[in-house]
Amino acid sequence: MAAPVNPPRGMRDFLPADKARREHALGIIRNVYRSHGFDEIETPVVEDYARLHAGLGGDNEKLSFSILKRGIPPEALAAAAEAGDAEELADLGLRFDLTVPLTRFFASHRAELPPVFRSIQIAPVWRAERPQKGRYRQFVQADIDIIGESGLLAEIELITATSQALAALGLAGCVIRVNDRRILFGLLEHCGFASKMHDRALITIDKLDKIGVTGVVDELREADAEAAERMGEILTNVAPLVGSGEGGGSGIALAHDAIAEVLPAGAAEEGVANLVALGEALEGSLPEGVDVRFDPTLVRGMGYYTGTIFEIAHPGSGSSVGGGGRYDGMVGRFLGQDVPAVGFSIGFERVVDLIELPEATGPEAVALIADADVELADLLALKRALVDRGHRVRLEKRQKNMKALLARVASEGFTRVANVRAGASAADELEFRELS
């Protein structure tokens, strides 16, 4: 018995109908982004190992796939792995997100780009995940980023474009949770956590939805017991706030008094003012079915975020279906000078699992069923004439089981069919019938 021939774990094949529907959905996203003034770029699937492991990618750096240097013999790999030095054998790696490649791209081509660059990247990325529902080792991200704009306009454009893309896909019930890293650090300072413990504390707070307030406090006690208790009180008080906000219209819940309930007076004033202004600007500008709410417990795991952060939640998914934020310090690592930047990414694989994808649309698709005695030159001439008219054309040979053949071509998106007899040479003479 032949062994099963499956793709690698965490990676998938897509049949023609699935591929067509996915491309249709990606086309919707791409068209919405382009209508908002973004331009599409493409970057290599590999980047330098050192760039991918610069300490800004959070846990995703640990999940990156590395590419061995050329000429490394197997015995050297085994010895290095045993000694814990396997990373010395790699000089390249597969990208684990699209942000690191974008910042390198901008640094490489800055002289050729406008002062404020609005980019689209829609492409696969790779992570050595533990495969499970909604989590794959190869998956598509749909990113928009704005580089060179330090003002709030960038965040507003990203949120409005992303929300309209979600609405165009028919994904209702989305909540865009927003926060500001400066507010998070303000909370930590207010509670009394030493600055050297901030990153560790944020990692713990990011687990709030999984381990609850009690679990967060217990874990934070290892860093500072008194500060942990203060943080526990704040988290308990803000829990109702996180879930607040009614739907209807834009459903914005970023009022100043709501934010003031979370932070003591004077703490993280710049971050608070930023979210207040964001809420006011977005009021009434989002499509129906998309809600925006302030969530002071939102962390986002990437180490490169510096200000506003956002994440898309949906009741049909146990994980976020998108996210992003401001990463003003990242481009400067390549240029030697800081450049403001902010981005928003839709997790396409999770989104596509939540929506009913319509049949892909395009040119009329017709099938020509040829008798065995039809001359190839005549058949090709008919096909060429129909293609020149804008049709999508499939050639099929007549079979005994015509019912099965017609059912198959119909399932593949073909809407009309014509029989081709010997001697047929003019497309206008073909008699087409509809496929139900």
Please report, for the domain that includes residue 342, its CATH number. Answer: 3.30.930.10
Q: List the end-to-end C-alpha distance of the chain, in Å, as a whole number.
A: 40
- 401 and 323 fall within a common domain: no
Tell me phi and psi for residue 327, to 5 degrees. Answer: -135, 65
Residue 418 lies in a domain: yes
Is residue 56 located within the same domain as residue 29? Answer: no
Among 294, 320, 352, the domain boundary falls at 352
- Domain assignment present for residue 7? The answer is no
pLDDT exceeds 90 at position 158 = yes
116 and 246, same domain (yes or no): yes
Q: Considering only 184-188, 247-251, 284-288, which range has the smallest mean pLDDT?
A: 247-251
- Residue 274 pLDDT > 50: yes
Domain hosting residue 119, numbered range: 16-47+110-352
pLDDT for position 266: 67
Statement: residue 38 has pLDDT above 90: yes
Q: Are residues 279 and 292 in the same domain?
A: yes
Q: What mean pLDDT do residues 265-285 have?
A: 79
Q: What is the pLDDT of residue 280?
A: 81
Query: Other CB atoms closer than 10 Å to residue 26's CB: what's the count?
Result: 16
CA–CA gap between residue 313 and residue 292 (Å, rounded): 10
The reported pLDDT for the residue numbered 104 is: 92
At residue 87, the pLDDT reads 64
| pLDDT-based confidence at residue 250 (cuts at 50, 70, 90) | very low
Do the domain assignments include residue 347? yes
- Which of 352, 381, 412 finishes a domain? 352
Mean pLDDT is lowest, of 127-141, 176-190, 259-273, 406-420, for 259-273
Which token pair is 4? 């099963």
Q: Is 63 exposed, middle or buried (0-12, 13-18, 19+ CB in 10 A)?
A: middle
Residue 99 domain flag: no
Whether 286 and 405 map to the same domain: the answer is no
Same domain, 67 and 43: no
CB 324 within 8 A of CB 310: yes
35 and 56, same domain (yes or no): no
Residues 254 and 149 in one domain: yes
User: In this predicted model, what pLDDT tens digit does every residue of 78-96 receive, in sequence order?
Assistant: 676 666 565 678 888 999 9
Q: Residue 4: inside a domain, yes or no?
A: no
Tokens of 215: 């679990």
* 397 assigned to some structural domain: yes
3 found inside a domain: no
Residue 147 tokens, joined: 């580089």
**Amino acid identity, residue 119?**
S
More confident residue, 279 or 309: 309
Q: What pLDDT score was predicted for residue 246?
A: 44
Residue 10 lies inside a defined structural domain of this protein:
no
3-class DSSP state of 166: helix
When divided into structural domains, the chain yields a total of 3
> Can you give the pTM of this predicted structure?
0.84
Mean pLDDT (the chain) is 84
Residue 177 to residue 33: CA distance in whole angstroms: 20
Query: Residue 119 — pLDDT band, cuts 50, 70, 90?
Result: very high
pLDDT tens profile 297-355: 888 866 678 889 999 988 888 788 899 999 998 888 878 788 999 999 999 998 988 88
Clarify whether residues 81 and 26 are in a common domain. no
> Closest Cα to residue 413, out of 381, 367, 382?
367
Q: Are residues 161 and 271 in the same domain?
A: yes
In this predicted structure, which of 187-201, 379-393, 394-408 has the lowest mean pLDDT?
Answer: 187-201
Q: Residue 208 in contact with residue 297, Cβ under 8 Å?
A: yes
Q: 156 CB contacts (<8 Å, ≥6 apart)?
A: 278, 281, 282, 285
Q: What percent of the chain stands above pLDDT 70?
A: 87
Count CB atoms within 10 A of the CB of residue 16.
11
The lowest-confidence range among 61-65, 238-242, 350-354 is 238-242
Local confidence band at 362 (pLDDT 50, 70, 90 cut-offs): low
**Is pLDDT at 74 greater than 70 in this prediction?**
no
From 352, 387, 422, the end of a domain falls on 352
User: Do residue 76 and residue 132 come from a single domain?
Assistant: no
Q: Give yes or no: residues 144 and 293 share one domain.
A: yes
Q: Which of 20-24, 155-159, 171-175, 332-336 has the highest mean pLDDT?
A: 155-159
Please determine, for residue 252, whether its predicted confidence score (pLDDT) is greater than 70: no
